[in-house]
Structure 1
Amino acid sequence: MASQFPAPIYRDTVLAHVFADAKRLFLDSMIEIDYAHLLMLTQQKIVSRETAVLCLRALDSLDLEAIRSTPYDGSVEDLFFLIEQKLADLCGADNAGRIHTARSRNDIDMTMYRMVLRSRLLATLDAVAALRTRLVTLASEHRSALMPAYTHNQPAQPTTLGHYLMAIIEILERDTERLRAAFLRVNRSPLGACAITTTGFPIDRAQTMTMLGFHGLQTNSYGAIASVDYITESCSVLAVTMLNLGRFAQDLLLWSTAEFNFLRLSDGYVQISSIMPQKRNPVPLEHVRILSSRSLSEAQSTLQSLHNTPFADMNDSEDSFQPLVDMAFTDGLRALLLLEGVLSEATFNLDHMRARAAGSFLTVTELADTLVRETGISFHQAHTFVAAAVKSANGIFSAEAMVASVLASLATAGVQAPEPSILFRALDPEYFVAIRSIPGGPALEALSPEIARAEAQLATDRVWLASQREQIQTAQRSIRKAADSLLAAQ
């Protein structure tokens, strides 16, 4: 015998979950859309002022907390119909039914999704800005702190902690640019597209666009309903941000090992062992790593979920899909906030980092460069002389031995040698850094302007963030003001 709607299995596997997700993620946006659409219908004289007043009073009377605690019982299909039912109970079915003039669940859904996604993007941008602020402070404080740079996980050349951190800051600046661009494409209103072809009613899409805080319209109604690229772009940008964050976290975890001993987390950010009394485990950094990996994977899963779906209104991008987007941004936000918190109390072992920068033959590139500048030989020949000196040292670095070996090679080749003091200077890590003063280098004269630029860019981005939030908040206040004005007139 055929079941009645909702079939128990369908109810338990789909509808109850969709209902719970909609209450958690979209209830506030759905109600905001009801207000804006009703006010526009009234302005356009599609709904009478008398009906509008009754509907506004009903909207004002909704107990949203009670709705959030309502379990799914199958008496309605979804949250939209529950709200419609409750409004009908408050102002009559005929009045409540008029709110749905010239709209569809399709354009309501697409509008809600964009409203929630834009808030996720702004929260992510806020967290990235907070992390950038922390890193700019650290880079400024440690702009002269020597440390080894690594290639292929091997010590390579001396640099500074400020130089390394500035590289991470630049990555986060690019992440910010990508997130901002995604936000601008998300923040377009699809409301008024209705099912997929708009409506014959003379609605004003620009009015609801403004009242809901959107920058513009997602104009083509077919695309407003069928397109998903605003989601896939946002999630792709998030995935890139999380990939970058995970690589930084991996470096910090390596620096926290006893073997590296570059970074020490505060007591508030370490966990102990239940058996080993000596352990100070940098567990929060591991959480940053897994949270960023989770976020990246969830963001990538949105693209995989939408691959080869039809260009149309479909549930593949809606009810059971949207929580995946929320998970990706929630985990990404957790990772960003946690890393900023860890770094706010962490300390660097500067003396040890400096000592490591002075050893392991890290300065010998400059020795080869100095030979080129002082003697006129080719870099290839200079590289050969210095490589021979390194090889003869058998892994034990000695400036005296290096200089002696190079002087011997120059003499054998019949090349006039520079003063030994010039060669010893080339092996000094501070000199190594100081002479690399072209744009992008670690020398103070190159790095300090970049730190200042990063501070200025951060200030600019914070102004932009504040302006976007203010636009949305202003729009929300305008809805309330318009509703109050209409109610006061009756």
Structure 2
Amino acid sequence: MIYNKVVLEPAYRQAQAYLLEPMIAIHKAHLIMLHQQGLIDKADAGFIASALLDLNLDRFLNSTYTGEFEDLFFEMEHELLSAAGDTAGNLHIGRSRNDMGIALYRMVLRDKILEVIESALILHKALLAFAAEHVDTIYIALTHTQQAQPTTIAHYISAAAYILERDIKRFKNAYDTCNVSSLGAAALTTSGYPLDRELVAELLGFAGLIENSYDAVSAADYAGEAAAASQLASANAGRFVQDLLQWCTQEFGVLRLADDFVQISSIMPQKRNPVGLEHARSLLSSCIGNAQTVFTLLHNTPYGDIVDTEDDMQPYIWKSLETLSSVYRLLAAIISTASVDRVTVYRRAKNSFATVTELADTLVRIEGLSFRKAHEIVGEVVGYVAKEGHSVRGVTLQALNDASVKAVGRKLRLTEMQLQRALDPEHFVRIRSLRGGPSSQEVMRALKEQALNRQGFEEWHDEKLGAIRSTVLQLDHILVSYLPVV
């Protein structure tokens, strides 16, 4: 049957891979709540608990779709009925596939978000360690793809780490939106049974409830929020990777990757292709594509329980987050083993015109000129020197005086020593010590702050992960108490 082949069988395999354990956890939590609310007596609860605890997960994980059951849920229900008899049918009191399915998706998604945050923190740690090694490694930063001003490798890497921190915050927000329970909403309008929605949410590690039952089974913006966070994080990482790839070119000669992350050419012996970064770049594009599919599936769909936003949409956000998590770990390994050609990048900075902003600033300080007039004088000299094919070393005091006479009618008081200091990239970086600047003291301060930020993220992550893991043990502990004493 074509419907089975195209729809049901892939959905079954998807459920095997992602939904099995959360499905069993929901069964257990719902059973505990039904018993505590007096809807199932202890004897029946014991029969069902025994069947749940004895479920053979490997059988479900390794089974193939036969079409005998519509999906994994009904196959598991059949197993429970076979083990506990008709009593197991009461496990579905007060609930629906609707509220249960949304809870399953939210449980899987919250795990994926925690995974990507953990991987992001690994990359964040690698970035800060790399930056700490290069606080004094001066290189020329670019704007509009052209040489702009001297800064340090650490200053650049610290910027990338700050962006990553904001991505982590967005994932934290997505986690908070996701980690609320739909259970108790039933099909759409809750139930006439006296269910305890709060208890079930607590047993499963949810932070609270989706208050409105219609909202609980219909909304999918929680997945959209995670997809938006994944898209933006992937775009941010992609821009960073593109810079690293540029740094790896022989023309730039800034970065050298470890041998594990390069490949040779089958014909050109000199090649060291930075394929680790190339794969990272393309995989990040796939993250964006998969996340965009989430929005495409959300677009113009009816507001209600519907497979567009459930069975068919969920795998795309899971895949986006899984891939992003892997890329973060790949980048962490690449950064941790890469080296920088400090001599080349410093020589380039020393010989470039990237420091002449400071020369204009110096004329303002010493000569009392307006910045625009100082900019005019320096710009004329730089234009002439560059046209003659010289480096910044061709900027002489005589040339500056000639331009000054032309611009303001007098020579400069600037000395040769002051000129050379103004053109020194180390001096350029050192005096830019404002908060957020590239001076070594300021960058070190920022790196310490970022390390503390990471510590806070790690503590949050460990707390959330620990709370979820403890629910599994708690559920089994309670169920065991229902079993008859032998």
Instruction: Tell me, yes or no, whether TM beats 0.5.
Output: yes
Cα RMSD over matched residues? 1.2
Task: Identify the residue that residue 332 of structure 2 maps to in structure 1.
Answer: 340
**Shift, 1:312, TM fit:** 0.5
1:440 and 2:436 equivalent? yes
What's the secondary structure of 2:148's corresponding residue?
strand
- Equivalence map 1:139-288=2 (5 Å): 139-288=131-280
Where does residue 473 of structure 1 map in the other structure? 469
Shift of 1:173: 0.8
Write the letter of the residue equivalent to 1:449.
Answer: R
Structure 1 regions of 5+ residues with no counterpart?
1-7
**Per-residue Cα deviation, 1:371-393 (whole angstroms, up to 9, x for no partner):** 01111111111111111111111
Are 2:84 and 1:88 equivalent residues in the alignment? Answer: no
**Selected match of 1:458 from 432, 451, 454:** 454
| Of 457, 479, 486, the match for 2:482 | 486
| 8 A Cα contact 2:178 2:222, kept in partner | yes
Report the AA paired with residue 438 of structure 2: P
Q: Does 1:74 align with 2:67?
A: yes
- Correspondence 1:25 to 2:21: no
Match 2:393 to one of 371, 377, 399: 399
* Cα separation, 2, equivalents of 1:477 and 1:216: 20
- In structure 2, the partner of 1:132 is 124
CA distance in structure 1 between the partners assigned to 2:239 and 2:363 by the alignment: 36
Unpaired stretches in structure 2, ≥5 consecutive residues: none
Question: What are the superposed Cα offsets for residues 139-185 of structure 1, whole Å, 9 maximum, x if unpaired?
Answer: 11211110110011111110001100011011001111111111011
- Name the SS of the counterpart of 1:437 in structure 2: coil
Task: Give the TM-score normalised by the residue count of structure 2.
Answer: 0.97
Q: Does the 8 A contact of 2:180 with 2:209 survive in 1? A: yes
TM-score, with structure 1 as normaliser:
0.96
Query: How much has 1:488 moved relative to structure 2?
Result: 5.6
2:116 partner amino acid: T
1:310 equivalenced with 2:306 (yes/no): no
The 8 Å contact of residues 298 and 325 in structure 1, kept in 2 or not, is answered as: yes
Distance 1:367 1:488, change over 3 A: farther
Match of 1:109 among 101, 106, 116: 101
Partner residue, 1:57: 50
SS in 2 for 1:156: strand
Residue 107 of structure 1 contacts residue 191 of structure 1 at CA under 8 Å; is this kept in 2? yes
The 8 Å contact of residues 139 and 151 in structure 2, kept in 1 or not, is answered as yes
Give CA-to-partner distance per residue, 1:18-66, whole Å, 9 cap, x none.
1111111111110110011011101111011111111111111111111
Report the residue type matching 2:133 in the other structure.
Answer: E
Task: Point out the more displaced range, 402-411 or 42-51.
Answer: 402-411
Partner of 1:427: 423
Deviations 1:201-228 (A, max 9, x none): 1111111111101111111110010001
Contact 1:295 1:327 (C-alpha < 8 Å) held by counterparts: yes
1:328 pairs with one of 305, 314, 320? 320
Pairing 1:10-49 to 2, within 5 Å after superposition: 10-49=3-42
Q: Quick one: which amino acid aligns to residue 95 of structure 1?
A: T
Tell me, yes or no, if the aligned pair for 1:140 and 1:451 is still in contact at 8 Å: yes
AA partner of residue 262 (structure 1): V
* Distance in 2, Cα, partners of 1:268 & 1:445: 34
Percent identical pairs in the alignment equals 39
Deviates more, 1:477-486 or 1:464-473: 477-486
Q: Does 1:408 align with 2:402?
A: yes
Which whole-Å CA distance do the structure 2 matches of 1:489 and 1:415 have between them? 102
For residues 247-304 of structure 1, the C-alpha deviation after alignment (integer angstroms, 9 at most, x for no partner) is 0000011111111111111111111222222221110101100111100111011011
Contact 1:410 1:416 in 2 (8 A): yes
C-alpha deviation, 1:489, in angstroms: 5.3
Alpha-carbon distance between aligned partners in 1 of 2:75 and 2:295, rounded to the nearest angstrom: 31
Q: Deviations over 1:402-425 (max 9, x none)?
A: 433112222442254222211211
SS of the counterpart of 2:25?
helix
Matches of 2:311 and 2:451, distance apart in 1: 42
SS in 1 for 2:483: helix
Give the structure 2 partner of residue 3 of structure 1: none
